[in-house]
Chain A
Amino acid sequence: MAASALCWALRVARQVLPCPSQTRSYYVDWRMLRDVKRRKLAYEYADERLRINAIRKNTILPKELQEVADREIAALPRDSCPVRIRNRCVLTSRPRGVKRRWRLSRIVFRHFADHAQMSGIQRAMW
């Protein structure tokens, strides 16, 4: 299972164009990989979940129908719900202290900002 997951990870990661800049051929860690899987599944099942939820969160349709819908949505794969996605840092896979705009953890952000590699970022002083 682990081997297959590893193969899948390698296949996913190998779609890297030959560019001279820094390239990452692997995900930082397994947690990042799982997060990636969750995002993919969430994208696939997004429409279905939306429609089934529209039936569920309803006052017009009969309740029996809504219960059936409840069961249906629970039967979907667990990783398909968007709530399980965690916005990790893109470079270090840190789950906490991640700024949404840059998708970087605070430590990496600070590192790049101090080396003047973040466009438009300046040390605040007032």
Chain B
Amino acid sequence: MWRFTAFEALLGPEDYNPDVTLPVHSSGAGRNAVARNARRSSRSRPAALKGRRGCERRAEGAMWGRLCGSGRILLLAGAARHCGRPHRTQKLFSTSSVLSATEDEPTAPTDSTTKVASKEGAAETPKQKLLKMIGDMKVEVTTKRKFQQLKEQEIKKQATNKQEGLHGGSSTFQNSAEDVQRSKPLNPELVQAASAVASSFPHNKEQAESELLAQLRRHEETTDKQRRGGTINICNVISEMTVKRQSPAQRGVRISNRISLEMDEDGQRIKPGRPSSHSDSGRSLKAGKRLNIFTKASPETENALKTVSSPTIWDLEFAKEIAAVTEQPPRNGFEEMIQWTKEGILWEFPIDNEAGMDDGAEFHEHIFLEKHLKDFPKQGPIRHFMELVICGLSKNPYLSVKQKIEHIEWFRNYFEEKKEFLQEI
């Protein structure tokens, strides 16, 4: 970095003793000159060090500040400023100014050159011409409707041709028409474009042009064929083809098998050997005919397994233990949320307002509770009371049907116990 080398040069020789090399003849004139030079340099400095050089100034200040501790450097600075090496500092600053000027200059001329180039080149190079031509050309977009229209047109054409054929002698006309179309000259614009592209080739321009024109002709033929043939041919072709599916697992295996990042002890990369055998075996394991070498497990044992009694407490504990041992801490936030949802800490989304409450009962079971009042007396204050209770329960959305029935049951039991007492009253 030229900036710092300047200061390194300034502070370079640490063994420089300013006291010794103070010039003996530091006359007043010399001093003034030095001062003037210093002032000039200081004045020129801000002119040179603007904008981008602010960091340099800051660096300079930082460097001065950092080394302020050592008095020697201060003295050095002082000496440099006043008498020591004014010319060198001036030179350094002048170089900096020169360098800065030179840096600014290249950027300005390059801008101007690019502008000039852009203005000049457009008209001249054939490449630009070609690009312009291609940009001007319109792209014919065939939508579905258009395609159907084309189909209808060609069907009509075929019908008319068939009619003509019946009369006879039109087939030759058709063939001649095709020949005429084939020999129809290509679009002049395309020809021009082809010539421009060929001219931009480094060598064999004529050959390139002829090849391009041949390609164009072939392209035109194919498009004409397609337009006449319609979609029928394509359908026939595609129906015979089958799609080879590659499972993402296979794909991943193949990709990972290509590059191995394992390192040997020496630091050499372990290249994979021939993994084709493994992949072949992997594919052949699942596919292919069964050899029926191994007999299936007999159905008796299967039935025996199924008829095992419900798992005991010890089995449950064992299963819990296994789960607790094998579970890993969640790798990311998603797994953490899954764990919480399983524990019941986090609700299930989308939020179901009747999450823990739905007992599968219909609304009429909640509202029409008079059928539970069969055991109660039909007259009297108790009946009145119970009817009020039922009215309240029917309006309660927080209790399940079971809880409501339990409520009524409790009252029934209570009044049964108090029957004798009530009869005394």
Contact = CB atoms under 8 A, between A and B. Distances in A.
B422 interface: yes
Contact of A65 (B389, B407, B410, B421): B421
Given A62-B425, A65-B418, A65-B421, A54 B381 contact: no
A54 B382 CA distance: 12
B425 A54 contact: no
Contacts, number: 29
B425 A58 contact: no
Nearest to B387: A60
A51 B421 CA distance: 19
Interface size class of A (residues with CB under 8 A): 10 to 19
Nearest to A20: B329
B268 to A, nearest CB: 41
B385 A68 contact: no
A61 B385 contact: yes
Interface residues of B, number: 14
Q: Is the interface of A mostly helix, strand, loop or mixed?
A: helix
Contacts of A51: 407, 410-411, 414
A102 B306 CA distance: 51
B384 interface: yes
B388 interface: yes
Interface string A51-80: 100110010111011001000000000000
Contacts of B388: 60
Nearest to B382: A61
B257 to A, nearest CB: 39
Interface string B80-99: 00000000000000000000
Interface in B377-391: 381-382, 384-385, 388-389
15 contacts: A47-B410, A51-B407, A51-B410, A51-B411, A55-B385, A55-B414, A60-B381, A60-B384, A60-B388, A62-B422, A62-B425, A64-B421, A65-B418, A65-B421, A68-B418
